[in-house]
Amino acid sequence: MSNQEPVVLGQPTVGDEELAAVAEVFRSGWLAGAGPACRRFEERFAKTVGTAHALTTSNCGSALFLGLRVLGVKPGDEVIVGDYTFPATGHAVLQAGATPVFADIRPDVWSADPASIESLITPRTVGILAVDVAGQPGDFDEYRAIADKHGLWLFEDAACAAGATYKTRPAGSLADLAAFSFHGRKGITAGEGGALVSDREDLIAHARKLHTYGIEPAITREGSGALPIPEFHELGYNFRLSDVQAAIMNVQLDRLPDLLSARRSVAKRYHEAFENLPGLDVPVELPDREHPWQAYILTVAPEIDRDALALRIREQGVQCNFGTYASHLQPIYGKKQTLPVSADLFARHLAIPMHANLTDDQVDRVIGTVSAALPS
């Protein structure tokens, strides 16, 4: 075991600016959810991702669920989901009462294969939930063509994709709805939180009611000359982001260009070090997309024991992990499908440290440790 300080897998970039923004919220007296800081962030974030509207939420899972609710998903429906993703994506479909049907993935960029999506459509299919794996958007022109051909909605799981683009269009603007995560390992973060974005005012307005127990948030009643007493007409939830978190996110949005630049610099160094190293394949960034590098995931050759390699790397104080999940293999979904590409990569992917705070010396250490841990 190494005596050196560990090189961590992921780490937020926060500092005095975030503390000052939180102090301002404290002075305002509005710490609860869906307040002025949330509204400021929603306006700014919508512009950043190229949509007309944004709604802050408690996390990405709640944003996904709200999106499915306002799209009208109900028991008996089927939703096609890109398989290679943290199971929050499939869970949201189950929580909405529908059945997730998982699409196999492209072997190069790991997003849902359009041909697999098309093959899974049945009379019960109502929509496509496509995942931006590690932040890089999938084939959204093809997804849209399939959705339009079959009368389906299209929903982008952009949890990892803040700052990414597809054919110059920002991630988040590529579908009828998109959901983002502000979890601690994401490119911009308040520790937790999320957002639902869309050009459709009706969908976001409905989601805004549902995320506050089924009524308009309190801020919409501020300054009223009467005594407004909201009425509850449908079941809602408490999925609000606090104004404390929103204050942090406003600063994180200011940081976004620099954070992306730092991650891209690390990815470039990893590429140069690993692209010709036997036993490893580097991740692919397609030329018509900008990758935000929320994660950097190596593909280990089939003849190498990925788990043993990971343990050797960890012993040297460099954190690493598997990539993400082949969702269809998780017991909760019943293991009813066979998706060979996703299953294969689930067994061979290795995520190594990727965040904006990595120093040159730490990157050198990661490169040296991974290289030395490979079987000779």
List, by residue number, the catalytic residues. Answer: 186
34 backbone φψ class: left, alpha, beta (φ>0; ψ -120 to 50): left
* Whole-angstrom distance, CA of residue 250 vs CA of residue 305: 43
The answer to whether the CB of 195 falls within 8 A of the CB of 188 is: no
Return d(Cα 87, Cα 84) in angstroms, integer. 9
- What count of Cα atoms within 13 Å lies in the side-chain half-sphere of residue 83? 31
Nearest-CA neighbor of 153 among 225, 78, 50? 78
Q: Which residues of 42-68 are buried (b: 16+ CB within 10 A; e: fewer)?
A: beebbebbbbebbbbbbbbbbbbbbbb
Q: Which residues contact 160 (CB under 8 A, 6 or more apart)?
A: 132, 133, 134, 135, 181, 186, 187, 292, 294, 295
